[in-house]
Amino acid sequence: MTAPTLPAEGVPPGVLPDVLVGRPSDAELSEQLLSTTWRPWTRGWKLAFAICGALTVNLFAMITLTVLRGIGVWGNNIPVAWGFGIINFVWWIGIGHAGTFISAILLLLEQRWRTSINRFTEGMTLFAVIQAAMFPLLHLGRPWFAYWLFPYPSVMGTWPQVRSALPWDAAAVTTYFLVSVMFWYLGLIPDLAALRDRAPARTRRILYGIFALGWRGSVQQWRHHKVAYLLLAGLATPLVVSVHSIVSLDFATTGLPGWHSTIFPPFFVAGAIFSGFAMVLTLMIPARRVFRLHNVITLRHFDAMAKLMLVMSWIATYAYVAELFVVWYSGDRYEAYQPLVNRPFGWYGWAFWVMVFCNCVVTQLFWSRRMRKNLTVLFAVALLVNLGMWLERFEIIVVSLSRDFLPSSWHIFVPTWVDLGILAGTLGFFGLLFLVFLRLVPFVPVSEMKQMRAEIVHDEVRP
Amino acid sequence: MNDPHDHDDDRGDAYDGEREAVAAPRLDHGSHGSRGLPAVAALVRLARSPAAWQAGAPELAEAAGPASLDELSRRAFFRLAGAGAVAAGLAACSSRPAREILPYANQPPELVPGVPLHYATGLVEDGFATGVLVASHEGHPTKIEGNPDHPASLGATRAIEQAAVLALFDPERARTITDRGVPAAWAAIEAMLAAAAARRGLGLHLVLEPTSSPLVIELVQRVRAALPAAGLTFWSPFTPRAQLAGNRLAFGRPLQTQLELGAAEVIVTLDADLVGEHPMALAYARRISDRRRVVDGDSAMSRLYAIEAAYTPTGVIADHRLRVRGSQIEHVAAELCAQLIRQGVRVPPIAQPLAGRAAVAERAHWIKVIARDLVRAAGRSVVAVGERQPPAVHAIAAAINTALGNVGRTVGFSEPVVFEAGQPSHDGPGLGGLGGLGVLVRAIEHGDVTSLLVLAGNPAYTAPADLGLAGAIARVATSLYLGLYDNETARACRFVVPALHDLEQWGVARAYDGTITPLQPVIEPLFSGSSVTDVLHRLLGDLPASAHDRMAAAWRRLMPEVPLDAALALGAVGGSALPLVAVDVAWDALTPVIAGAGTGEPPTLELAIRPHPFVHDGRYANNPWLLELPEPTTKLTWDNAAQLSPRTAARLAIDDGDVVALIVADQAAGGAVDRTIEVPAIIVPGHADGAITLHAGFGRDGGERIARGIGANAFALWTTAAGLHPPVTVVARGTRHALAVTQVTMRDDGRPLALSGTLSELGGDTLRAELARHRGPQPSLYAAFPAQGPQWAMSIDLTTCTGCTACVMACAAENNTPVVGKRQVLNGRVMHWLRIDRYVGPSGASGASGPSGPSGDDADEPSARVQPMTCQHCELAPCEYVCPVEATTHSPDGLNEMTYNRCVGTRFCSNNCPYKVRRFNWFDLKEHGGLRIAARNPDVTVRDRGVMEKCTYCVQRIRRAEIDARIADRRIRPDEVRTACQQACPAQAIAFGSLTDPVSAVVLHRRRPHSYAVLHDQGTVPRTQYLARIRNRNGALR
């Protein structure tokens, strides 16, 4: 299988490349984008699968240990009753947000550059939410009773306690997961049908045929599909705001200094999208290179995402500064202690400064167009932002808890190897799901690309 | 799940209460519910096995029919079932008790299943008894309370008494007689005893603990008469010696000092931890506190000056505290004496020249002020001296108390309570000479001892290191040890006889004031134990009847006027305290002593070895409750450490947790031998400079698995010639040791948590206004919760709280809180529902004129404030609204309740608790079997893994009182409900009751101007409030 001719990376300075380089035919697009699912396994692929698979096995071993022995195998204590589990939960669910933001909000805003990356980011959303959803369950002292958080008709007549943020949390995450799955699957149907028609092996054709749900590409089907897709996008759009807002209420509704803050919902949403874009970049830059998709995922995409990250970075920075002002203005000594003393100069002062560097400082590189188009820089910054956003949740959760009202109960939190193993394990499990996704379905939506090409050509012909 | 029962338990939780109510309390909470299944399985196996049938009941085997259950006809099934029942019944008959036992059908009138009975008895330490009441559930003791009718308890206990119930059920207690580790019988020992007796005691030596028991004393005198050649030593490392020697200096004979602190207006302690370490600490704490209950600024309040090296509980409650290291206290005493004479206290002419002694400049003002206060309160003051001070200091104090006219009012002297106390048989090191054990070791070295009986204590561990007692014992031909554990002494001796625990034996002991305390067993001996009297009787060749009969006979002989039954019911014989004797100070002899006191050069760095507040001299070291109890000053658990002041630590360049070698030159060996131990350092703000305090009782090396290997052995530095404060060299080893402290941060960061002020400030407006800001209604968006019935509330008086930690132990004993071990403590997972916060350094209130102490609050002279902290039972509880499953809710009577069965363990409640008083079961922490679970309180659920728990205000006691009141058709009486912490508190600092009851103590407390709520500004409306710490400061010492 010869790779299609690659357009040149080099674009004259000052000129943004298009969202589609060249004007490949429908057949060329189908060949290029569908073939990702049946290309032969290389040694690199096998290695990647092996690493992620090993980490996944490790994850489930750690989970087994946690469920068998108790949460005590983690580093949590009193006062730091929430640790890596909730950090990972908030981090992963935040990462998911970029996918929904790109697929739903940008769809409604008719942003053309979203087309080639939306499936990719939706997949990321889905797998990030799967990682995230494990933690609220896992971090329970008695996870086998997790269903008590849902309003089900109990014979004892007991219901969740709705003043607590946690039942809402459970509902929000469940909703988010279901809507994300539906949205993703709905968009996938035409491409599954294409795979049914083009896949080289008979088994594959049968399997893809089952999941294509009888898609024939008729006008009527397309019409229904478009309507349903738009409706789901409309449904998913508020979730971008609501899910992380509700997650933020886990903290904002308490009285704990460092948590007790009305700025949290928008701050969390912005942070989520920030970290999500970082993760998109982290995944997309290597995938684009491996699959040689330079023509469909262009520097134009990276430029747009870098700009968005810059914006989100400033929103985060604004929130940090606003918090300083608010706690100073409140005159509350307990509140003031957190951002003014504990975070920058406490036991975990280093983590705060690393976070500030990652989330506020390093992103300023993106003022420069050259940096926005330098994939090495983009990749490095994306990794740093991933780290920075993880540390931000660490600051909020662990650092705030470790020193609250009564100094007598202040205690440091030290993660155990199980904590670290689970964190590494979720990264591996996420990677494994993503690798499977890359090999199983076309991760650039073929039908949408064809449609976009047609629109572009149409615009070019009749400006 | 590591145990299949676990899951069953979890699902069956909802029905547990019901099941327990029907089946009456059982010992085993861990695995009930599924025990029937193996029995059925065994029965089926039995029924299927013809061999078993023929062996058991051949005629039934024929009737059994087909072997497989599937093939059974209906008739065959019933035949088999009936046969099975008979067979099972036969099997149960296999071990019929040899003696008649009584069915429970006719229940004794005093016994109601589920309702504990209380028995009065006593616990003895170093010969002094503390009266206790033991709660017994269906025959097994579960909880120990103080005996209000006993003068050494007055209803309170120390942590040690609280934990005694666990010590009783310690599975590691010695269980059988052994001969060099091999199980043996009395016969072999009796041969040894008979041989010794045949030689009229020649070559025989006895080592006993100091005793006040008339029974033991009578036997010892009989042994002396019958075996005149036998040697006799009484040994306990911390028995009062200096006091008796000091009184001998002052009065010509060894007398025991008795304090009447209830009458004392001014108390000066010289290295004396009256409320922590003294044998009468419980009573003294109560008496001192009774004079310090502040109602308002006009309250009469005694004044307490503590002059001490380590920061003791006495120092915590003191109005003024002066840091002076142990060796310098002698100077202080002499200077105080001189100052008093200068201020006109009348002394005979021979003592007048003593007035010429000038005080060291930095404390001259202090001495002058204290002296003035003592003179002002002459006749109503006390100068008290601790046991780590040499006899001269005790003598000076005796002289001062006499000269001030205190004797007969606040200070008295009695004959020693302990048999032969102050005599050579009690001698110990530090006072010159080898002491009793030294004589024994010499005799062993000369081959003069062929039989050695060690009848209590653990001298091989507690003896001064230079004696090499353990090695000497091993050289004795036949040695016998009577003890509770396979400890160091047991390992040195040939025969080991398991001893009876105090709660298992009949006996008599005297309290520190001499009050006769009858001891009765609250349980049959768990193992085949013997008492000291058993062994002495055997030595004398007579072992009459039962221990009870022996005691009854002795009682009739010794105290015919007091009926034994009445004394046993009460736990003390009223009016049996030793009479005070008239004394005259021997000024002629004393004057040169005072003149010579404290003239030696002080060492650069000195060592003080103190008994640990919980494991004492190591005898309680195998008790996990006590090891995990935070030491009051350092909050250290599972360890001992070298305590030193911040300045000394800086000088030595040592930090918390640095391992240091403590090196003491052995004076007995001419200073040629260095004795060294390695121990981690811990910095204690407020400790005297130039001194190191080390608690004894750790570094155990016997067979006790829990105690073994924890900490360092302070006795290894203790030598016969070293004196009380030997010079010590400290060398940092460069390694670190993790110190499992339960409170990492001792500074309060200026936060208004443990508020304090002075009595005069309380009379003024500034402090009152400041305190008023910490109570009263708070605006809230939430509706007040619907109150119904009594409204439970607590009030804790920070003025009288000494931080002794008895309440923490009482809470753990009452509420079955698990022990987690050192690693988990290090990880912040200690499970105590009640903790005592300790803040040192600048006080946490705003403004210099606020409740912060006006002086003495800088880094070198910190004022420690202690604050018992437990669930505050907030009316608007932050924990409740964040629980997703309503596992923590509010009861109509104002309790913040935990429904363990409903808890899924999100820990959200703990995060939102501003007081951080909630505790989480990180693992399955409960014990699943073994003897120790017998000590559990059957009224309190044992919590499962993964659920949150916390203080309940002892809800089981509240409900019990409610039931009693309902049965009697009356209201709950004021102060009828007493929480475990309140009951144990020696200072009675805790009040508990209903806010609806206008005469309850808690309502009265809340009316006081210094009542306040912690974190009042958070709007939690806590039901527990505090009385700010008020100190009666002397204006001249500002």
Instruction: Report yes or no on A397 lying in a domain.
Output: yes
- Region A102-131: mean pLDDT is 84
Considering only CB atoms, A78 lies closest to which of B1, B837, B919, namely B919
Contact B918 A78 (CB under 8 A): yes
What does the pLDDT read at residue B528? 83
Domain at B480, CATH number: 3.40.50.740
Contact A401 B1015 (CB under 8 A): no
Q: Is B159 on the interface with A (CB under 8 A)?
A: no
pLDDT greater than 60 at residue B848: no
Q: Which of A5-9, B735-739, B997-1001 has the lowest mean pLDDT?
A: A5-9
B320 plus B432 within the same structural domain: no
Chain B positions touching A81 (Cβ under 8 A) are: 907-908, 910-911, 920
Contact B827 A77 (CB under 8 A): yes
Q: How far is B868 from chain A (nearest CA, A)?
A: 11
Instruction: Report yes or no on A404 lying in a domain.
Output: yes
What's the residue count for chain A?
463
Residues 819-838 on B with a CB inside 8 Å of A are 824, 827-829, 835, 837-838
Average pLDDT, chain A: 88
B805 plus B858 within the same structural domain: yes
Instruction: Report yes or no on A437 lying in a domain.
Output: yes
B956 plus B1030 within the same structural domain: yes
pLDDT greater than 50 at residue B107: yes
pLDDT greater than 70 at residue B53: no
Instruction: Report yes or no on B593 lying in a domain.
Output: no
- Region A194-200: mean pLDDT is 86
Chain B positions touching A253 (Cβ under 8 A) are: 881-882
Chain B positions touching A90 (Cβ under 8 A) are: none
- Region B528-555: mean pLDDT is 87
Contact A158 B919 (CB under 8 A): no
**Rounded CA separation B232/B421 (Å):** 13
Please name the residue of chain B whose CA is at the shortest distance from the CA of residue A162. Answer: B884
**The most confident of B62-71, B768-777, B950-959, by mean pLDDT:** B950-959
User: For B244-302, what is each residue's pLDDT tens digit?
Assistant: 999 999 999 999 999 999 999 999 999 999 999 999 999 999 999 999 999 988 889 99
User: For B864-894, what is each residue's pLDDT tens digit?
Assistant: 899 999 999 999 999 999 999 999 999 999 9
Q: In a mutagenesis test of the B interface, which of A66, A68, A152, A409 is the best target, namely the one with the most B β-carbons within 10 Å?
A: A409
Domain at B271, CATH number: 3.40.228.10
Q: How far is A157 from chain B (nearest CA, A)?
A: 12
Instruction: Report yes or no on A440 lying in a domain.
Output: yes
Q: Which of A63-72, B190-199, B507-516 has the lowest mean pLDDT?
A: B190-199
B359 plus B260 within the same structural domain: yes
Please give the residue range of the domain that contains residue A280.
26-96+128-143+244-455
B350 plus B443 within the same structural domain: no
Instruction: Report yes or no on A374 lying in a domain.
Output: yes
A-B C-beta contacts closer than 8 Å:
177
B370 plus B296 within the same structural domain: yes
Contact indicator for A96, A69 with CB cutoff of 8 Å = no
B389 plus B434 within the same structural domain: no
Domain at B1007, CATH number: 3.30.70.20
Q: How far is B921 from chain A (nearest CA, A)?
A: 8
B811 plus B846 within the same structural domain: yes
Domain tally, chain A: 1
pLDDT greater than 80 at residue B782: no
What does the pLDDT read at residue B975? 82
pLDDT greater than 70 at residue A52: yes
Please give the residue range of the domain that contains residue B66.
38-93
B289 plus B384 within the same structural domain: yes
Instruction: Report yes or no on B746 lying in a domain.
Output: no
What does the pLDDT read at residue B435? 72
What does the pLDDT read at residue A83? 93
Contact indicator for B994, B289 with CB cutoff of 8 Å = no
- Of residues A115 and A230, the one with the higher pLDDT is A230
Domain tally, chain B: 6
Instruction: Report yes or no on B323 lying in a domain.
Output: yes
User: For B301-353, what is each residue's pLDDT tens digit?
Assistant: 999 999 999 999 999 999 999 999 999 999 999 999 999 999 988 888 888 88
Instruction: Report yes or no on B100 lying in a domain.
Output: no
Please name the residue of chain B whose CA is at the shortest distance from the CA of residue A168. Answer: B884
Contact A406 B753 (CB under 8 A): yes
- Region B509-526: mean pLDDT is 92
pLDDT greater than 80 at residue A8: no
Instruction: Report yes or no on A173 lying in a domain.
Output: no
Contact A72 B744 (CB under 8 A): no
Contact B924 A70 (CB under 8 A): yes
Q: How far is A148 from chain B (nearest CA, A)?
A: 7
Average pLDDT, chain B: 85
Instruction: Report yes or no on B131 lying in a domain.
Output: no
> How confident is residue B688, by pLDDT bands cut at 50, 70 and 90?
very high
User: For B518-541, what is each residue's pLDDT tens digit?
Assistant: 999 998 888 888 999 999 999 988
3-state secondary structure of B110: coil
Q: Which of A160-169, B4-13, B472-481 has the lowest mean pLDDT?
A: B4-13
Instruction: Report yes or no on B145 lying in a domain.
Output: no
> How confident is residue B62, by pLDDT bands cut at 50, 70 and 90?
very low
Instruction: Report yes or no on A226 lying in a domain.
Output: no
What does the pLDDT read at residue A454? 81
Residues 958-1017 on B with a CB inside 8 Å of A are 1014-1015
**Rounded CA separation B484/B496 (Å):** 10
Instruction: Report yes or no on B858 lying in a domain.
Output: yes
> How confident is residue B101, by pLDDT bands cut at 50, 70 and 90?
low
Domain at B628, CATH number: 2.40.40.20
Q: Is B1034 on the interface with A (CB under 8 A)?
A: no
Contact A140 B1 (CB under 8 A): no
B349 plus B436 within the same structural domain: no
pLDDT greater than 70 at residue B844: no
Q: Is B750 on the interface with A (CB under 8 A)?
A: yes
B535 plus B634 within the same structural domain: no
> How confident is residue B403, by pLDDT bands cut at 50, 70 and 90?
very high
- ipTM entry: 0.92
Contact A405 B10 (CB under 8 A): no
pTM over 0.95: no
Considering only CB atoms, B916 lies closest to which of A75, A170, A409, namely A409
Render B453-477 in DSSP notation, one character per residue: EE-SS-HHHHS-GGG-HHHHHHHSS
B223 plus B321 within the same structural domain: no
pLDDT greater than 90 at residue B623: yes
User: For A309-360, what is each residue's pLDDT tens digit?
Assistant: 999 999 999 999 998 898 888 888 899 999 989 999 999 999 999 999 999 9
Instruction: Report yes or no on A282 lying in a domain.
Output: yes
